Structure 1
Amino acid sequence: MESYNYLVVGSGLFGAVFVHEATKRGKRCLVLERRNHVGGNIYTENINGINVHKYGAHIFHTSNKEVWEYINQFAEFNNYINSPIAIYGDEVYNLPFNMNTFSRMWGIKTPAEAKAKIAQQVAEAGIKEPKNLEEQAISLVGYDIYEKLVKGYTEKQWGRSCRDLPAFIIKRLPLRFTYDNNYFNDRWQGIPIGGYTPIIEKLLEGSEVMLNTDYFTFIKENPGIAEKTVFTGMLDEFFGYSLGHLEWRSLRFETEELDIDNFQGNAVVNYTSREVPWTRIIEHKHFEFGTQPTTVITREYPLEWEPGAEPYYPINDEKNEILANRYRELADKCENVIFGGRLAHYKYYNMDQVIAAALEAIRKEFNS
């Protein structure tokens, strides 16, 4: 087999941006992807004209002008604004927590009334030093918001009681005392018209891509195939789990096409009651203001992660961070391996952060 300058493991955003920039500089790249498609978790699949986010909702948002201008080379973005709603029993609330939320919950109208209500509940709780997530949340937003909009959702996400979760998971709960349902504060946001997959395909142009290919099997059969490796898989897996497993939370998706034009009237609807097994339902057509006669929805179920399952959210508690730092020390000693992305850094990244990290890796690699 031919030799390459870079063997890139994974075709998600980090790998694809790195490949694009390296190829522009005249380097030969071979991309290995264990799935049967490119794009990692931002992969979108077209179903009857609807771009379906196969691995959960991905809404691009950033305040980084360099990243925004960079990604706009590869797609035109629409003006979608993320304004999720929450359903608790028969009640419907706007997210993030703002004056629409407070007005619906307490029948009040002004910021002063909302602040007074929250302050009253926080004072009545009298929690000085929160011992767990429940006490931390109540000390920030009071009982009503915690009970209806935080408790059940969080317990589903983590698979355990809020009383058994550490307080540091919720450092703050943003409260907005304006009637503003825009979930993100970032300067730029939107959805790429036509989905994310075409972006990845453009980024990978000029490189060779092998799908359904496991890196560890491949490299045993093809040692020395590349001068350097760009690894975007799981950090602990690269080292054969020699120090133990880093822990994650996982997800399961149930996607179905419905013979109606509009199922829930919003792209993202959170279900905050513990009794409802899914955390949210995504209706994909609303990301691109679709008018198709049918619709596609996805129910999202949190899962306890176990080795072999798909990792989604790193559990960055003290125990796992200590282990991750030990693996990072090993990674620093690998001269011809560049580690990048959510899995290899064991960090939760937004898409813009992944792109920024990839561009920084390119600058470091090529001194440019």
Structure 2
Amino acid sequence: MPHLWNAEHARTVSRSSSRPYDYLIVGAGLYGAVFARQAKDAGKRCLVIDRRPHIAGNVYTEKVEGIDVHRYGAHIFHTNSKQVWDYVGRFAEFNRFTNSPVANYKGEIFDLPFNMNTFNRMWGVTTPEQARARIDEQRRAAGITDPRNLEEQAISLVGTDLYEKLIKHYTEKQWGRPCTELPAFIIRRLPVRLTYDNNYFNARYQGIPVDGYTAMVAAMLNGTEVRLGVDYLQDKAALDALADVVIYTGPIDAYFGYRLGALQYRSVRFETEVLDQENFQGNAVVNYTDADTPYTRIIEHKHFTGGTQARTVISREYSAEWKPGQEPYYPINDETNDALYRQYRALAEQESTVVFGGRLGSYTYYDMDQVIEAALQKAEDLLG
């Protein structure tokens, strides 16, 4: 929910101040870029800064061998919001890419999400009735009525075979701990489709910018001053003096100097290489769901845009516990961390001229459309 007192106070300060900028936007990712676009269109003076040497945050793409490489992991745009889809369409042309990942379990290939292709490969069944019966049989055999952890939750939803081959080891690699030690709520539901449908997302709109995400964000920031390689927290007082209101998209605990303790994240390490072959794995995303493979998945970037280049670029993804100095990716939204975040949120609400937003500022994992929607809403709250 918008903090209306902060919004009204921010508008009042902006009208009465003679500082060179109305808004200092910390972070040139999606949230910052969308807010900057809306503020500029409303006639506001904005300065966008980012500690990285590039714009676009984690959706940054760079050209390698003529291929748009997703440096910080695969980003597939999908949304059910026509407003958001029309908005991004102002800044980029999107292709028709449909996310249809596959799982590799010790050389066996299974379609994701779980659908009739998956069940046929797993059990040889050919009808929805047979697939449902097999799942229900395994759920009953497990006898789990009150799941106490992620393992029990998953088995109670899809049975033992799907859990053992396609969920257990992948999840443990992702989170760095046994599924029996992970809370059940992490897997609230698992999609089971009794159709031959490999489309991972149940979204009305889906695609990839044909010129890459960096070009899309650059279009959003067109006409706005951007300074890169600037660490806001290292020079906070001087930077704060430049603007009436700060839009902060960095880690909320870092803003307050970790005074209450550090929030926990999972991080990701990427090994990217150029291969002297046209096609490595035949799909954009392949998950490795066995325990022996150290990485969680391989991304072959050219398949996002149907590339026909003579060479290809792949990225292996390794999940890791976050440590200071690394890039935080996935908030660990368990009870302990959520309680700590609420304490930081209370501190944030006392900052009358600072707005906290985005994935890190809100300690929330957002899909791209959710980030854009949140930024548009915040801009409406502040800009009127």
What TM-score comes out, normalization by structure 1 length? 0.98
Question: In the aligned structure 1, how far is the partner of 2:240 from the partner of 2:335?
Answer: 36
Alignment of 1:83 with 2:89, yes or no, is: no
1:52 to 36, 61, 69: 69
Q: Which runs of 5+ in 1 are unaligned?
A: none
Letter in 2 for 1:153: Y
Which one is further off, 211-220 or 92-101? 211-220
Q: Which residue matches 1:162?
A: 179
User: What is the rounded CA distance, in whole Å, between the counterparts of 2:366 and 2:186 in structure 1?
Assistant: 16
Residue equivalent to 1:326: 343
1:64-101 deviations in whole A, cap 9, x for unaligned?
Answer: 01000000000110000000000000210000000000
The Cα offsets for residues 263-283 of structure 1, whole Å up to 9 and x where unpaired, read as: 000000000001100000000
Q: Give the 3-state SS of the residue equivalent to 1:86 in structure 2.
A: strand
240-249 or 179-188: bigger deviation:
240-249
AA matched with 1:297: I
Tell me the distance in 2 between the aligned counterparts of 1:97 and 1:47: 33
Q: Aligned partners of 1:91, 1:339: CA distance in 2, in Å?
A: 45
Q: Which amino acid aligns with 1:94?
A: D
Instruction: Show the counterpart of 2:306.
Output: 289
Residue 5 of structure 2: aligned partner: none
Residue type of the alignment partner of 1:302: S
Are 1:268 and 2:285 an aligned pair? Answer: yes
Alpha-carbon displacement from aligned partner over 1:5-52 (angstroms, at most 9, x marks no partner): 111100000000001111111111111110110000000000121000
Q: Name which of structure 1's ranges 178-187 and 208-217 shifts more when overlaid on structure 2.
A: 208-217
Q: Deviations over 1:207-235 (max 9, x none)?
A: 11111110012323444111110000001
The residue identity in structure 2 corresponding to 1:285 is K
Q: Could you say which residue in structure 2 is the equivalent of 1:40?
A: 57
Q: Which amino acid aligns with 1:355?
A: I
Compare 322-331 and 344-353 and name the one that shifted more.
Answer: 322-331
Counterpart in the other structure of 1:135: 152
- SS of the aligned residue for 2:159 comes to helix
The answer as to 2:295 corresponding to 1:278 is yes
Cα RMSD of the aligned pairs, angstroms, is 0.9
C-alpha separation in 2, matches of 1:223 and 1:164: 43
Q: Could you tell me which residue of structure 1 aligns to residue 196 of structure 2?
A: 179
Partner AA of 2:95 in structure 1: N
- TM-score of the two chains, using structure 2 as the length reference: 0.94
1:14 aligns with 2:31: yes
Shift of 1:329: 1.2
Asked if 1:25 corresponds to 2:42, the answer is yes
* Matching residue of 1:316: 333
Percent identity at matched positions?
60
Give the alignment of 1:205-354 within 5 angstroms: 205-354=222-371
Q: Which digits, 9 at most, give the CA deviation of each residue in 1:226-260, with x for residues without a partner? A: 11100000011111111111110000000000000
Deviations 1:91-146 (A, max 9, x none): 10000000000000000100000000000011111112222111111111111000
Amino acid at match of 1:183: Y
Q: Which residue of structure 1 aligns with residue 14 of structure 2?
A: none
* Contact 2:232–2:239 (Cα < 8 Å) also in 1: no
Question: Would you say 1:66 and 2:118 are equivalent positions?
Answer: no
- Give the number of aligned pairs: 366
SS in 2 for 1:228: strand
Q: Could you tell me how far 1:309 is from its partner in structure 2?
A: 1.6
Amino acid in structure 2 at the alignment position of 1:239: F
**Deviation above 4 Å: which 4+ runs of structure 1?**
none
Q: Report whether the alignment pairs 1:191 with 2:213.
A: no
- 1:187 is matched by which residue type in structure 2? R
Give distance in 2, aligned partners of 1:223 and 1:337: 10
The SS at the match of 1:154 is helix
The reply to whether residue 148 of structure 1 matches residue 165 of structure 2 is yes
CA-to-aligned-CA distance 1:150-207 (integer Å, 9 cap, x gap): 0010000000111111111111111000000000000000000010001111111111
2:117 is aligned, of 97, 100, 117, to: 100
Equivalent of 1:110, from 127, 145, 149? 127
- Cα distance in 1 for partners of 2:309, 2:106 equals 30
For residues 181 and 32 of structure 1, the distance between their equivalents in structure 2, rounded to whole angstroms, comes to 40
Look up the match of 1:202.
219
| SS of alignment partner, residue 211 of structure 2 | coil
Maintained 8 Å contact 2:35/2:375 = yes
**Counterpart Cα distance in 1 of 2:381 and 2:329:** 28
In the aligned structure 2, how far is the partner of 1:308 from the partner of 1:261? Answer: 36
Residue 152 of structure 2 aligns with an amino acid whose one-letter code is E
Which secondary structure state, in structure 2, belongs to the residue aligned with residue 147 of structure 1?
A: helix
Letter in 2 for 1:172: R
Q: What are structure 2's unaligned runs of at least 5 residues? A: 1-18
